[in-house]
Structure 1
Amino acid sequence: MPQLKNKAGDFDPKSVACWDKGERVPFMFLCLVFDMISNETGRIVITDICVQYAEDCDALAEACGRTEVQVKKQYKELGDLGLVAKASRSSQSMMRKPAALTVTKVFNTFRLIAKESGKDSQEKKKNHIKGLLVATTDCEPQYLIRLLQTKLRIGLAEQTLLAALGQAAVYTEEHSTPPPNIQSPLEEAVKIVKQVYSLLPVYDKIVPALLSSGVWNLLKTCNFIPGVPIGPMLAKPTKGVSEIVNKFQDMEFTCEYKYDGERAQIHYMENGSVEIYSRNAERNTGKFPDVVIAVSRLKKSSVRSFVLDCELVAYDREKQKILPFQILSTRARKNVAVSDIKVDVCIFAFDILYLNGQPLLQEQLKIRREHLYDSFEEERGFFQFATAIISNDLEEIQKFLNAAVDSSSEGLIIKTLTRDATYEPAKRSNNWLKLKKDYMDSIGDSLDLVPIAAFHGRGKRTGVYGAFLLACYDSNNEEFQSICKIGTGFSEAVLEERSTSLRSKVIPKPKPYYRYGDSMNPDVWFEPTEGQNPRIIPFPHISLLNPFSWSSIFSLPFSTVAPPEIPLCISDGTIVVMEWVWEVKAADLTISPVHRAAIGIVAPDKGISLRFPRLVRVREDKNPEQSSSSELVAEMYNAQKHNHQDNQEDVEDD
């Protein structure tokens, strides 16, 4: 392959691949690749860098002799703990240089950090991190700390990494001959790797399978299995019953209640163990011991293993009615004892993805639903099938929508039954539509956005923030793009609460991965995170580029020195991260010269903004990178039924 050029100068990964076959890959090599990617903006070139890397691969203050005050001061100046680590490490002299780090050494140490528990575990974690830091050189401390933070911020999106894996598999000498019917091997290989990752998002299984059997056999060697969560299939918004009938004309479809609870994927293994995962693949088993008992009790005796897609909803069993989501959110997050449960939940099951050793993802929904109904016994208030009808009559569907809303559900999910009705993991599919009562007079859906800045309040709002700058997330460029300024619709209590929560997230300057108009001048900037409660991430399903955890290496309270998004590893092999997003509704979307959401998709040099945005709630089940994407914003804009007058006119900040 040709040598690559970038802004940092010429660099050929093979020129520093100085280890022999069978030896461990130096960590420095990985860091040099990170460094080159961070200085490159072209997606194709970044992919090529990753391809070449894949081919060739065939505790801070104590560790660096710095004081707390010095580290705090430098973090305020640089705004990047990785750069602080690099500066601290380069200024430290050592009597004896430790052995050079390898990728395997770093990776295995991360595993040790995550598994430490019990007495003195925090001290042990600190020592593991110090042991790595004292062995780092050059740019290694910078990327080591960023890896521990799970925030590389070098412009390397996961989809790019998956594409690189597919291409690298084609370029390797062994297993590289594609089947005769494939015309574009590189494109097909990328497609296969991405498809497999959606079914089995574990690099520890995908990479060995690529090396042993090649990319052309990957769909046979890697498949969906219980115990490993997949991304849930998602629905696209629609604004009315007539739109549904038009989109699904000449197709059989079903309407189901859209419940207002927590999306859950329940895995029941052959050995009788149960795991419950959230929509973000977070392990929630400890939060719902009652759910574990219910599914084990109500499955039929013929069922040996299964994976359910369902909604866990707060439920009043005495009055036999659904309770609001806010009630469900009061449940404890982990280590819940059944005897201590104050808020009961009902499992509303609507899909089954795996049954008795067989994946069902490629079956049509009608077949999957038959398997679901045949595999469980219903018990009101404990386990119920989602209420559903099959109809294409506008009046009947409208009545069904009204009934769903009256039952305290959000609305309807409409799904194809017998054609184009397979389960598409981690995709927002045209074959699932969602309809809420309050969609009909608005933009068609709410958006999940991240507060990245704020403006000081004036008059009655003196002492709190008067307005906030919100952003969506562009995964291709790994950046947060401003979409609106929100300041109306807050009660005094909510405004005080949001202001208090965000004050601890203030940073001295905007992050380099924030994109906003030059005329936007907020008074304060925030880390891309909000909230006081943590989210829980399961250790086994975190990739190398988004790995694991770190504990405070300063022996200080977690939030006093480290950036707010730094996770804290806890004893059961999970990670706690303080990250929330805001759910926002608006009257409309419009082209804006001020905001940068979806810039270049709808207009070449302008973004999209929201008109009359209002806060609905703070979402605890999403992290900033899972906020609404720029692609979704563009889709919603294009889906609007009417053309705005201001499509041709520049609008000022809303």
Structure 2
Amino acid sequence: MDSDEIMGSGPHQPDIPEDLDEKYPNRPHNRGPTLPFHDLYINLFNPLNEVKKKPAGPAPVRRKLGPHGKSAAGLNPYERRRDVIERFISRWRKDVGDDIYPAFRLILPDKDRDRPMYGIKEKIIGKMLVKIMKINKESEDGYNLMHWKLPGQGATARMAGDFAGRCFDVLSKRPMRTDPGDMTIDEVNEKLDKLSAASKEDEQLPIMKEFYMRMNPEELLWLIRIILRQMKVGATERTLFNVWHPDAESLYSISSSLRRVCWELHDPNIRLEGEERGITVMQCFQPQLAQFQMHSFEKIISRMKPTEDDNVFWIEEKLDGERMQLHMTPDDSVEGGRRFGFWSRKAKEYTYLYGNGIYDENGALTRHLKDAFVDGVQSIILDGEMITWNPEQDAIVPFGTLKTAALSEQRNPFSNGPRPVFRIFDILYLNGRDLTKYTLRDRRNALQKTIRSVHRRFEIHPYQEATTTAEIETALRTVVAEASEGLVLKNPRSPYRLNERHDDWMKVKPEYMTEFGESLDLVIIGGYYGSGHRGGHLSSFLCGLRVDETSRGSEPESMKCWSFCKVGGGFTAADYQEIRHNTDSKWKEWDIKKPPTEYIELAGGDAQIERPDMWIKPSDSVVLCVKAASVAASPTFRMGLTLRFPRFKKLRKDKDWKSALSVQGFLDLKSNAEQEHKEKEFSVDNSRKKRAKRTTKKPMAVAGYDQNVNLQDLGPSGHVFDGLNFFIMSESTVPEKKTKPQLEHLVKTNGGKVFQTKAAAADMICVSERRTVKVASLQKSGDQNIIRPSWLLDCLKQNEKDAGLPDFLLPFEPKHMFFTMEDKEEEIAANVDKYMDSYARDINVDELKEIFNQMNKNQDQPNSPLDPTTIQRIESQIQDKVNAGYTAPRGWLFRDLTFFFYTRPDESNGDEQTRKHIRLRLAQNTARFAGAQSAASLKDSGITHIVIDTESSFSVDLPSVRKSLAENLGKKLPHIMKKDSKFGDDKKLS
């Protein structure tokens, strides 16, 4: 839209395009021209800043009363700010009219979504001012403008870090006018619209020159802040909105439109109706945000106001992408009958990138959403995160590649390269109904019934229900181990709160935790100047790894370091002072044409990625102890790897650059850490409040690592898992608790190989008992069984019991399966009977009780014996195992044998007869369990063994027994055994 169409040419009232005129039929009209631009800083910006600087003093004589009946000078700071704003707005209404939109566009430039971004930053403005004022860029003033973050030269040094302030100092020396200019607010808006539309310097320069010619230095200072959208006026938009209209903040939250706030709420006596307070499809809203949390997990949970009946909270993985809202509405003008809209958290529209319809050829996402909504869904608003997914790695790509992936997807929608994926975690509008007042639990239920997930394109973000702090700790360990962003804890009983940070959503990031990540000693090789209150000083540092150019253990011959990470968090004023004290006069300015490659190697070669403002020789520098959550790949640093969430912990005065961490030393640490992942306790990091001094250095700490745990004691070793590949995705909680590293150790010590991705090897056995993101991904694919960790433990226990026999794997049982492929369900079910009793392993007491319970439940149901065909199939499977070399199961030990239990009446007392009866019954049951047949009489044919109870009171005359048997059975005699004999041992009687 052309700026002339928006602003018009008349001084009193801009012409409004016809579509906006129809959209806002009751828009206000101004009676007179807008106020001069200088009125903004004289009567609004400067007075607001004065409130911030000075405490309230005694009321001057004849001072106008404020809104609360007090003199304006006697009000508290908040009331004084309101008084300044109210007086400005009152003057506008009186002298101009009810349309304050032109002024609010300049007062709140960062909230004006109707004006595109200028694409102009400090460096470009500095270059243009140098040209406009015709000064040498190498002069003191030219240098100060082009290097605004540096301390500067002369009097301008005090403005380091404040670009607009530095411009004011330079402009004040050579102004075109000293008195306020004559440009009106309308004229400034018109020129700014043209500036935002200009894309080249030769288009931008004349506009900036006109501003310079018609404004004094103070006006230009505020103009530059408006262009940079960095106002710093001492009052928030909330205060301005509340003074303008009691419903202004609410309307902005649901619309993100400054124009609507000004045009629809121009009369403070007319309030929004109930329906007007809700979100509307195709109107971008301000989303709910997660609260930063620095308290204990117990306090986090208590703030979500649990009840005795409902103390559940939800745990979601915090995704490393861009917050995005999706709108869909019926529209016959769009092919497919549905129109889509996408907006970011800051109300930037991305429909051009992700698509406006199902058949939009430029839609990186919408072309895949034809079947993503159930029948009956007409209009909808979804809240979620747009992430980049790498199909080859089946993993999220770190933030920063989203737009590139979307553009690539536009060109080739079915490639196997990185692609945008929309992860949905909330639904806020459905078929004309605003759902924000419903609880999160109700909204999630509606979401599940409304959306059909499109694999790796359009998915519902999973969550985990929890009630204890231990579950938060476990989840946090998992996301850190997977180099994820962190967690978001949510209250399922809460409504959706537009444009708020509230305790109902709390984020827990790894950098908020202590003893949870690597602690490394790095040497400073560069520094970056800060802005604002850190202006004029190095506020963040480039840290490097020493390059080993000699053999291990000898003195390094070179001081060269590779760039590794940038650290700017965790420093106190005392820390900065100590670093300055130890490096004073040793810093050198970075020269792009002559980089110090002898000492420092950056990424990107000649591109010099992440080049610092200043650099220092490693031998002149200091060593920092840096803590981070994890290590991640990064093309930004020469090492190719960097630290995620690095934070300064302390200055290592006991170390110099020669003893700082080297490239090879870091790689060794990384390799060891990956091999020795163990569980480790951690606590909330309160270092941002007051960091306690440490007297000793802690060793490198890695998520899940505990030096007090001896992995060798965690289980047996053997060859049960020889030749098998495992991908273990979660810990074990039943039948016993074992961490993921402990399970991996058990697999390795019993012959198996462990990998960290499914695609790393063939015939992978995937193990988990918890639905993590990776597990959910495998489950949705449907082509991979997921085994519970209990199967690993059962295999090891069974082989321990059968010590001395060849190692063997248990077949999978239903209880072992977290997810079963459809074509494997029948095969796995056949490994247990109808009461879930295993055919292949010994069960424990608890399992036996559960089997009895199942039998009791089925007592009233008609018996359904196994089909003979099924029995034959099971027997055939077992026989195949035996033929292949496996030991026959105990239930087949006496298979094809027939036993007769020999006894005769005697004169023993009643108790002895009872014991004798019990002994024989136990022997008979044992034989039956092992597959033997039982003969009722010596005259029965086929008897292979006769069992005699040698513990009875009568003596056995073996010759007479054999003679008796010969008469009844013929020539071939069966074996005669003691009752307690083992089959085939030396306890046979004959």
In which range does the TM-score fall when normalised by the shorter chain? 0.5 to 0.7
Q: Alignment partner for residue 258 of structure 1, among 307, 317, 322?
A: 317
Aligned residues: 462
Question: Deviation string for 1:7-50 (max 9, x for gaps)?
Answer: xxxxxxxxxxxxx9522111010132323434442543344322
What is the aligned counterpart of 1:325 among 380, 398, 402?
398
Q: Which residue of 2 aligns with 1:24?
A: 34
User: Which of 270, 284, 291 is matched with 2:365 structurally?
Assistant: 291
Q: Give the counterpart of 1:315 among 370, 378, 389.
A: 389
- Assess, with a 3 A threshold, how the Cα gap between structure 1 residues 360 and 233 changes in structure 2: closer, same or farther: farther
Given candidates 239, 242, 248, the residue that maps to 1:166 is 242
Give deviations 1:220-240, integer Å, cap 9, x for gaps: 656534342414421444777
Q: Give the TM-score taking structure 1 as reference length.
A: 0.57
- What residue is the counterpart of 2:234 in the other structure? 156
Task: Describe the shift of the 1:26–1:269 C-alpha distance in structure 2 as closer, same or farther (beyond 3 A).
Answer: farther
Q: Pick from 55, 65, 76: which aligns with 2:90?
A: 55
CA contact (8 A) 2:544 2:561 kept: yes
CA distance in 1, matches of 2:143, 2:317: 50
Identity among equivalent positions (%) equals 14
- Structure 1 segment 76-475 matched on structure 2, within 5 A: 76-77=152-153, 78=156, 79=159, 80-81=163-164, 84=167, 88=171, 91=174, 100-116=182-198, 121-137=200-216, 139-153=218-232, 155-157=233-235, 159=236, 161-169=237-245, 189=246, 192-212=247-267, 214=269, 216-217=271-272, 223-225=278-280, 226-237=282-293, 248=304, 249-250=306-307, 251-270=310-329, 271=331, 272-285=338-351, 289-295=363-369, 298-317=372-391, 321-325=394-398, 329=401, 332=404, 335-339=407-411, 342-392=417-467, 409-410=484-485, 412-418=487-493, 421-435=494-508, 441=514, 464-465=525-526
One-letter amino acid matched to 1:361: T
Q: Which whole-Å deviations, capped at 9, do the CAs of 1:287-328 have from their partners, x for residues lacking one?
A: 654334345652345333333222233334456x323526x6
Do the aligned partners of 1:315 and 1:323 also contact (CA within 8 Å) in 2?
yes
Quick one: distance in 2 between partners of 1:437 and 1:90?
A: 49
Structure 1 pair 585/307, CA: closer, same or farther in 2 (3 Å)? farther
User: Structure 1 residues 488, 212: CA separation in 2 closer, same or farther (over 3 Å shift)?
Assistant: closer
* Cα distance, 1:66–1:366 mapped onto 2, change above 3 Å: same
Q: CA deviation at 1:273?
A: 4.3
Alignment of 1:510-529 (within 5 A): 522=580
CA distance in 1, matches of 2:327, 2:46: 43
Which digits, 9 at most, give the CA deviation of each residue in 1:512-540, with x for residues without a partner?
xx995795784799xxxxxx9xxxxxxxx
CA radius of gyration, larger in: 2
CA distance in 1, matches of 2:47, 2:509: 46
* 1:156 aligned partner, one-letter code: G
Between the aligned partners of 2:460 and 2:503, the Cα distance in structure 1 is 23
SS at match of 1:381: coil
SS in 2 for 1:268: strand
Offset from partner CA, 1:140-189 (integer Å, 9 cap, x none): 22222232232334x424x2x431442355xxxxxxxxxxxxxxxxxxx4
Q: CA deviation at 1:129?
A: 2.5
Once the 2 structures are TM-superposed, how far is the Cα of residue 56 of structure 1 from its aligned partner? 1.4
CA distance 1:639–1:415, shift in 2 (3 Å): farther
SS of residue in 2 equivalent to 1:211: coil
User: Could you tell me how far 1:329 is from its partner in structure 2?
Assistant: 3.4
List per-residue Cα deviations over 1:450-506 (Å, max 9, x = no partner).
xxxxxxxxx9958x23x77989xxxxxx8569999877985459986489999xxxx
Q: Distance in 2 between matches of 1:298 and 1:129?
A: 49
Q: Which has the higher strand share?
A: 1
Unaligned runs of 5+ in 2: 1-29, 55-76, 94-127, 146-151, 332-337, 355-362, 548-559, 586-591, 593-612, 614-642, 651-683, 694-990
AA at the equivalent of 1:343: P
Question: What amino acid is aligned across from residue 52 of structure 1 in structure 2?
Answer: R
Counterpart CA distance in 2 for 1:65 and 1:314 is 47
- Amino acid in the other structure paired with 1:338: Q
How far is 1:101 from its partner?
0.8
Q: Does 1:72 align with 2:142?
A: yes
Conservation of the 8 A alpha-carbon contact between 1:287 and 1:335: yes
Matched to 1:199, the amino acid is I
Counterpart CA distance in 2 for 1:367 and 1:460 is 50
Aligned equivalents of 1:524, 1:221: Cα separation in 2 = 61
Question: Is contact 1:86-1:139 (8 Å) kept?
Answer: no
Pair 1:64–1:24, CA change in 2 (3 A): farther
Q: Give the structure 1 partner of residue 621 of structure 2.
A: none
TM-aligned CA distance change 1:126 to 1:229, over 3 Å: farther
Tell me the distance in 1 between the aligned counterparts of 2:174 and 2:89: 33
Q: Which residue of 2 aligns with 1:606?
A: none
Secondary structure in structure 2 of the residue aligned to 1:230: coil
- In structure 2, give the amino acid aligned to 1:311: E
CA gap of 1:242–1:48, structure 2 versus 1, over 3 A, is closer
The CA distance in 2 between the partners of 1:309 and 1:210, in whole Å, is: 27
* Alpha-carbon distance between aligned partners in 1 of 2:579 and 2:482, rounded to the nearest angstrom: 45
Displacement of 1:431 in angstroms is 1.4
* Aligned equivalents of 1:499, 1:434: Cα separation in 2: 24
